[in-house]
Structure 1
Amino acid sequence: MLVFPRWKVALIILTLALGVLFAVPSFLPDRIVSKLPAAMQTRVNLGLDLSGGSHLLLEANPDDVAKQRVENMEEQVRTALRRDQPRIAIGDISRKDGKLSFMVRDNSQVDAAVERLRPLTQGAGMTGQRDFNVEVVDGNTIVITPTQAGIDKAINDSMDVATDVIRKRIDEMGTREPTIIRQGSNRIVVQVPGLQDPKALKDLLGQTAKLEFKLVDYAANPAEVAQGRAPVGSEILPYPDNRGGPPVIAVRRQVMVSGEDLIDAQQTYEQQSNTPVVSITFNSAGGRKFGRVTSENVNRPFAIILDGKVLSAPNINEPILGGSAQISGNFTVESANQLAIALRSGKLPVALTVVEERTVGPQLGADSIRAGILASAIAAGAVIIFMFLSYGRFGVYANLAVVINIFVILGVMGLLNATLTLPGIAGFVLTIGTAVDANVLIYERIREERRRGRGVVQAVEFGYKEASRTIFEANVTHAIAGGIMLALGSGPVKGFAIVLLIGIATSVFTAVTFTRMLAAHWLRKERPADIKMGIMRIVPDDTNIGFVAIRHWAFGLTALLTVLAVGAVGVKHLNLGVDFVGGLMIEAKFAEAPHLDKVRSSIERLNVGESSLQQFGDPKTVSIRLPVPDQGGAGASNLVVEKVRKAMTAEYPGVVFSRYDTVSGKVSGELIQNGILAVMLAVIGIAIFSWFRYEWQFGVSTFVAIMHDVLMTLGFFAVTQLEFDLNIVAAVLTIVGYSINDKMVIDDRIRENMRKYRKMDMKGLIDLSVNETLPRTVMTSVTVMLALAALLIFGGHVLRGFTAAMMLGIVVGTYSSVYVSSSLLITLGLKPQLTDKKSAKGIAGQGERVTARTADDGAQP
């Protein structure tokens, strides 16, 4: 394992050099990056919590898609039956229950009608079904029913078109590097860096921009129209800007011209009144249709309809020829320009509703970057000093591996065009702490083998060989938690998971392969007679603590603490963040620390709902939580924010709204469900892996210990009332991964000793295993705690709850690994035996070239 041919050395160095090289553009300004070759223009994108900007989650209602398809089919049916000869006369078309049904007046034409209608249906993807079923009922009634396969395909097609339309609209706004991606079957995520006021964006994206010109039904009875009753062939539409007239109007269903015939739309001014209008230009087909209809209906009014609302209903004084027209209404220059953009980019095939909104100010983003860099630097410095003092030359190797690993992670993220978020920075800091875990395992094993009498080369070789297996198994469990975070997580959880998963892969390479190459080069060049580790030793080599002897006391304490934690959650409840309960959260930074009661009174006077205030991070920063308005649609939250902003600014000059989040009840319910599911899947998945890798007792003890760690963390948040949000879910999942990492090391040593010492008493064997791995357990915990302490002190208030959860998890995870999980194996009846069935063959011959010690003599080779 210590033989490194030149080609292998060159390959390792080349791989790491490429990783570092691809990380460099992320540190360069845009003007320099633009001059680099295309392959080198790989940069890590900054998330909105670092760069500032707006995040919207838009959702389409599948029922609207189905309804629209039925409406479109109705127009096609009318055209198909009347266009060709002989014309087929039908009665009124009904849309009841989402189906189209109508009577054919001449029974002899029923079959001909069906033949004309069947070509209107299409195949629904690869399902083998049609998008509509056409059938005859009662001899002369034709029923056209949309199929589920057709609806699913229509939703998918509509969301693809909607994504493209949204991208065009945002590009028209001139924003920089927006992110527009589909999420699930009926949602679209929109992230726009640098946009701190999303009102204009929401107004623009909220418009379906379905433009229609229809004739006004002037023969309709005004009294019946006011009551919502329309004549046959007409419909009632709202007309909010009908000055002095009724708020509704009756229009014919048949469309004169639609927005699909537009080729341009611009904001202009009406010549006589100089008011803002939108000038539109039709294509040749649309111009001919518009000219023909206006020629046939002079002195009759027509309605200009946008998204189901009448903008205006001017009179046709003369034929409108030339293929152009003006849309007038109660426009401002800004609203007319937005409508022009929406019309130019095309109509949305489905209405979209904002179900989640997050806005981060640029100042908070810059503060987060500074805090993250400072915390990372301090964490790296603390870990580097600690590793050097503990392991000397080998500590230098580990430190070099950690520094290169950070650059390689950035390089891989750049190649993947990944986004770095604030929790992602936390992932970096955590990686700094955990990346040395593999080296700690290796170096402690080398120490141990030297104490057993192995030579220098043998000790190094055996240390890397044995530790590599444990490192692999521990990282598999860590990856399970990270993979579940990536699959089920949202926003910050995914950002954290990306860094974590990349870090797991790269740290194994740098910590094992790279440092082994350095160690092999040193051994070959210097041929040392001994290995000198660092001057600092936290756990003495001759430590022999009787952990199993107090296992009943430990079990009792564990049960008591767990009951208290569950009780705290049940009585005090978790202080769930806006992510999980829904609502509106505003973070306001005051010039001086305000009195919360006074701020609360000011907000209550605004009648925006019951408020909840909490100092957030420092006395000057206050978190204001309000319910999402029940009415008013997507713009209602903006109105509330603006209302609160004006009131606070008037009463507290200098106050800054650094960010605000809006999450609907539906999304918050999904986040709760996904959060619980993610934690449970991680626990169960890791326990099953431990079960199959070792024995069932290991799986059960792992499950019990991890549930203890999770419940203790929840109890801590219930007692402290720290906000429990998506970041904390990421922390809990990381605690699960870290705890099992610790337990896997101890379990692997127990398994190894069970093969070596077949006759040893199980209590003595577990004590021996825990004591042998105790230096690694403590050293790893200390390095991670150093990194987290830097994050807690210097990482900013946004991640304070996350960091507190992680630090608590390290403490309870270490306790449960040492006192609960391992001792529970005795209670579950584990007996000394060959537990790893896959490696049973040849174990006796392997023998590790070491004479097994007995429980009595403890002799060394």
Structure 2
Amino acid sequence: MYYSRLRMLGVVGILLISALLCLPNFIKSPSPSLPWHQVHLGLDLRGGSYLLLQLDTKSLQHDRLQALEAETRRDLLNAHLGFLDMTRDDDNASLSFQPRAESEHLADRHVLDNIASATPGELTVTEQDGRLILTLQHDAMKARAREAVSRSIEIVRRRIDSTGALDPTIAREGDDRIILELPGISDPERIKNLLGTTARMTFHLVGPNPTQQTPGTTLLPMQDGKTSLAVQDQVEVDGANLSDAAATRSEGRWAVSLKFDSKGAEDFARITTANVGKLFAIVLDNRILTAPVINSPITAGSGEITGNFTARSASDLALLLRAGALPAPLAVIEQRSIGPSLGAASIRAGMISLAVGFVLVVVFMFLFYARFGWYADIALFANLVLILAILSLFGATLTLPGMAGILLTLGMAVDANILINERIREEVKRGRKPLQALQSGFERATGTIIDSNATAFLAHVMLFVFGTGAVRNFALTITIGIVTTLFTTLIFSRLLIVRWYAHTRPKELPV
């Protein structure tokens, strides 16, 4: 029951710092240079858009098998092993060779086994009806899909941040889904357009016959959708080697300027030097943006895309290219929009529930425990300040379930004070002197309070770790509330009682 001057200053200092951390939520920042951390309102309080995105794993598998097919073709040709044909479906690629001696056939198989061993656990080679079959392994593709979702989350975050959206929530759900919450954005169409674009840019030479598909070429539509060109399957320059992209004005029209890294600049210079006079197609998501003639070698490591761009479309394309290409397309499978009026109503309802709950608790504690009830109420208010301060310090997002968690924290905090006051009351009834009753009451209640809060803390940590969305926000506020409850109940409320006792030295305790 003894508090040194340093200990008292420490408790008061924590509360004053907490009060200062709460200020940014109620007043505007006096200077942009000041760290002004605030609690951000979630989608259900502020209004905005909710999108549930799903990664197209079939496309991911198709692209991977296509890449393996191209590698196999190259390796077989490098080994001087010709083959009759190669076919591919969603899960397998198969090829057959001309009839040859058994030793040559074993050499074919040996080359393919070497190809499979280069990607351990991902590709197997089997023989069926005279054909060699390359099969993608299911577990390897699941691991690749999980990795693709993680990459997609980072790319989505870069794209969203570039639009200026404030406080977005981007999280994984399951193996192939991403949750996107955008507070304050009531029209998600532009966001959907940005996220629905894979933004994989590649550069190809146009085939010998630009209007007819031949072996080794693919007929792709132009941007206007009216004409098509046959471009070579070989990727000459990959958009992954872009280092920067920006919307710009060129000859009175909007364009997108490109800048390559060292490898991209080297590839670009090599291709344009060797193919002067040929058509060079710029392909974005299997659609040709433009196919200019290479008039002269381009060695500066930069280029420009022109077309029927507006200021918005040029900016959006530059944004997509800067953010990087998605490993596979994302489909919007669920969408919700919450208007700001509904968000305001939610805030009002949440604040009313918090205020009513707080007032009822204050009245209850005063009626049952008189002066000690008032001290519990003061500690309860300090608890609210501490919770808000911690949420503000980390810029946390508050949702309706989070407000429910704060309200539940008030009940848990009062429960701890009730335990202490009842213990003190029991000691008074046993005839103990005031100081002894206070000392024994706090000591006997402390163990129970710590045990009950520790179990609740562990349960809500598990909720936060394994939950998603609203459940995590609820668990976060409860977890923070448990820590602040232990501080305000076992340290701050005890300090108030100790200071009162030191000044008054009562003969009886008012419990």
Equivalent residues of 2:21, 2:393 under 8 A apart: no
The letter of the residue matching 2:54 is E
Offset at residue 438 of structure 1 (A): 1.8
The letter of the residue matching 2:69 is E
Offset at residue 513 of structure 1 (A): 3.7
Q: CA 1:284–1:508 in 2, change beyond 3 Å: closer, same or farther?
A: closer
Secondary structure at the residue paired with 1:197? coil
Determine whether 1:528 maps to 2:511: no
Offset at residue 390 of structure 1 (A): 3.1
In structure 2, what is the equivalent of residue 258 of structure 1? Answer: 238
* Alignment of structure 1 residues 334-349 onto 2, 5 Å: 334-349=312-327
The letter of the residue matching 2:268 is G
Which of 195, 199, 208 does residue 198 from structure 2 map onto?
A: 208
Please give the alpha-carbon distance, in whole angstroms, between the structure 2 residues aligned to 1:466 and 1:483.
Answer: 27
Equivalent residues of 1:134, 1:145 under 8 A apart: yes
Secondary structure at the residue paired with 1:94? strand
Equivalent residues of 1:19, 1:409 under 8 A apart: no
> Deviation digits for residues 3-41 of structure 1, max 9, x if unmatched?
3353xx7447625633652452342256458645xxx76
> Deviation digits for residues 249-308 of structure 1, max 9, x if unmatched?
76543334432343443445675xx6655454554234235426754746xxx7543223
Of the structure 1 ranges 325-334 and 195-204, higher mean CA displacement relative to structure 2 is found in: 325-334
Q: CA 1:462–1:22 in 2, change beyond 3 Å: closer, same or farther?
A: closer
The letter of the residue matching 1:527 is R
The letter of the residue matching 2:490 is V
Determine whether 1:507 maps to 2:485: yes
Please give the alpha-carbon distance, in whole angstroms, between the structure 1 residues aligned to 2:406 and 2:59.
Answer: 44
Determine whether 1:92 maps to 2:85: yes
Please give the alpha-carbon distance, in whole angstroms, between the structure 1 residues aligned to 2:259 and 2:453.
Answer: 62
In structure 1, what is the equivalent of residue 148 of structure 2? Answer: 158
Q: CA 1:140–1:177 in 2, change beyond 3 Å: closer, same or farther?
A: same
In structure 2, what is the equivalent of residue 241 of structure 1? Answer: 224
Determine whether 1:18 maps to 2:11: no
Q: CA 1:5–1:114 in 2, change beyond 3 Å: closer, same or farther?
A: same
Please give the alpha-carbon distance, in whole angstroms, between the structure 2 residues aligned to 1:33 and 1:112.
Answer: 70
* Alignment of structure 1 residues 706-717 onto 2, 5 Å: none
Gaps of 5+ in 1: 122-129, 223-229, 534-861
In structure 2, what is the equivalent of residue 442 of structure 1? Answer: 420
What CA RMSD, in Å, does the superposition of the two structures yield over aligned residues?
4.0
Which of 274, 278, 291 does residue 272 from structure 2 map onto?
A: 291
Which of 397, 409, 418 does residue 431 from structure 1 map onto?
A: 409
Equivalent residues of 1:20, 1:407 under 8 A apart: no
Give me the TM-score of the superposition, normalised by structure 2: 0.80
Please give the alpha-carbon distance, in whole angstroms, between the structure 2 residues aligned to 1:412 and 1:475.
Answer: 19
Q: CA 1:26–1:520 in 2, change beyond 3 Å: closer, same or farther?
A: closer
The letter of the residue matching 2:108 is V
Please give the alpha-carbon distance, in whole angstroms, between the structure 1 residues aligned to 2:200 and 2:483.
Answer: 49
Secondary structure at the residue paired with 2:69? helix
The letter of the residue matching 2:234 is Q
Q: CA 1:104–1:434 in 2, change beyond 3 Å: closer, same or farther?
A: same
Determine whether 1:48 maps to 2:43: yes
Which of 182, 187, 204 does residue 197 from structure 1 map onto?
A: 187
In structure 1, what is the equivalent of residue 60 of structure 2? Answer: 65
> Deviation digits for residues 53-76 of structure 1, max 9, x if unmatched?
444343323333222222222233
Equivalent residues of 1:52, 1:360 under 8 A apart: yes
Secondary structure at the residue paired with 1:392? helix
Please give the alpha-carbon distance, in whole angstroms, between the structure 1 residues aligned to 2:18 and 2:382.
Answer: 12
Please give the alpha-carbon distance, in whole angstroms, between the structure 1 residues aligned to 2:51 and 2:245.
Answer: 26
Determine whether 1:407 maps to 2:403: no
Please give the alpha-carbon distance, in whole angstroms, between the structure 2 residues aligned to 1:80 and 1:319.
Answer: 34
Please give the alpha-carbon distance, in whole angstroms, between the structure 2 residues aligned to 1:231 and 1:183.
Answer: 43
Equivalent residues of 2:39, 2:396 under 8 A apart: yes
In structure 2, what is the equivalent of residue 397 of structure 1? Answer: 375
In structure 1, what is the equivalent of residue 95 of structure 2? Answer: 102
Secondary structure at the residue paired with 1:442? helix
Offset at residue 393 of structure 1 (A): 1.5
Please give the alpha-carbon distance, in whole angstroms, between the structure 2 residues aligned to 1:5 and 1:340.
Answer: 63
Equivalent residues of 1:59, 1:354 under 8 A apart: yes
Please give the alpha-carbon distance, in whole angstroms, between the structure 1 residues aligned to 2:499 and 2:44.
Answer: 44
Please give the alpha-carbon distance, in whole angstroms, between the structure 1 residues aligned to 2:21 and 2:433.
Answer: 46
Please give the alpha-carbon distance, in whole angstroms, between the structure 1 residues aligned to 2:255 and 2:397.
Answer: 41
Please give the alpha-carbon distance, in whole angstroms, between the structure 2 residues aligned to 1:310 and 1:321.
Answer: 21
Please give the alpha-carbon distance, in whole angstroms, between the structure 2 residues aligned to 1:19 and 1:147.
Answer: 58
Please give the alpha-carbon distance, in whole angstroms, between the structure 2 residues aligned to 1:22 and 1:519.
Answer: 22
Offset at residue 161 of structure 1 (A): 2.8
In structure 2, what is the equivalent of residue 113 of structure 1? Answer: 111
In terms of fraction of residues, the more helix-rich structure is: 1
Please give the alpha-carbon distance, in whole angstroms, between the structure 2 residues aligned to 1:293 and 1:47.
Answer: 56
Q: CA 1:335–1:69 in 2, change beyond 3 Å: closer, same or farther?
A: same
Offset at residue 77 of structure 1 (A): 2.8
Percent of aligned pairs with the same amino acid: 34
The letter of the residue matching 1:322 is I
Please give the alpha-carbon distance, in whole angstroms, between the structure 1 residues aligned to 2:361 and 2:499.
Answer: 24
Determine whether 1:145 maps to 2:143: no
Offset at residue 46 of structure 1 (A): 3.2
Please give the alpha-carbon distance, in whole angstroms, between the structure 1 residues aligned to 2:51 and 2:386.
Answer: 31
Please give the alpha-carbon distance, in whole angstroms, between the structure 1 residues aligned to 2:132 and 2:211.
Answer: 32
Q: CA 1:465–1:309 in 2, change beyond 3 Å: closer, same or farther?
A: same
Equivalent residues of 1:88, 1:113 under 8 A apart: no
The letter of the residue matching 1:405 is N
In structure 2, what is the equivalent of residue 322 of structure 1? Answer: 298
Offset at residue 397 of structure 1 (A): 1.2
Please give the alpha-carbon distance, in whole angstroms, between the structure 1 residues aligned to 2:243 and 2:156.
Answer: 18
Q: CA 1:285–1:442 in 2, change beyond 3 Å: closer, same or farther?
A: same
Which of 64, 71, 76 does residue 76 from structure 1 map onto?
A: 71
The letter of the residue matching 1:24 is L
Q: CA 1:340–1:454 in 2, change beyond 3 Å: closer, same or farther?
A: same
Q: CA 1:311–1:396 in 2, change beyond 3 Å: closer, same or farther?
A: same
Q: CA 1:461–1:371 in 2, change beyond 3 Å: closer, same or farther?
A: same
Please give the alpha-carbon distance, in whole angstroms, between the structure 1 residues aligned to 2:344 and 2:298.
Answer: 54
Please give the alpha-carbon distance, in whole angstroms, between the structure 1 residues aligned to 2:16 and 2:339.
Answer: 31
Offset at residue 136 of structure 1 (A): 5.9
Q: CA 1:456–1:261 in 2, change beyond 3 Å: closer, same or farther?
A: closer
Q: CA 1:221–1:266 in 2, change beyond 3 Å: closer, same or farther?
A: closer
In structure 2, what is the equivalent of residue 132 of structure 1? Answer: 122
Determine whether 1:172 maps to 2:162: yes
Please give the alpha-carbon distance, in whole angstroms, between the structure 1 residues aligned to 2:19 and 2:346.
Answer: 21
Equivalent residues of 1:208, 1:348 under 8 A apart: yes
Give me the TM-score of the superposition, normalised by structure 1: 0.51
Offset at residue 352 of structure 1 (A): 1.6
Q: CA 1:336–1:46 in 2, change beyond 3 Å: closer, same or farther?
A: same
Please give the alpha-carbon distance, in whole angstroms, between the structure 1 residues aligned to 2:49 and 2:348.
Answer: 20
Please give the alpha-carbon distance, in whole angstroms, between the structure 2 residues aligned to 1:49 and 1:66.
Answer: 37
Equivalent residues of 1:61, 1:352 under 8 A apart: yes
* Alignment of structure 1 residues 839-858 onto 2, 5 Å: none
Please give the alpha-carbon distance, in whole angstroms, between the structure 2 residues aligned to 1:35 and 1:408.
Answer: 25
Equivalent residues of 1:52, 1:196 under 8 A apart: yes
Aligned pair count?
A: 499
Offset at residue 420 of structure 1 (A): 1.9
Please give the alpha-carbon distance, in whole angstroms, between the structure 1 residues aligned to 2:82 and 2:178.
Answer: 43
In terms of fraction of residues, the more strand-rich structure is: 2
Equivalent residues of 2:209, 2:230 under 8 A apart: no
- Identify the structure with bigger relative contact order (alpha carbons < 8 Å, sequence gap 6+): 2
Equivalent residues of 1:51, 1:362 under 8 A apart: yes
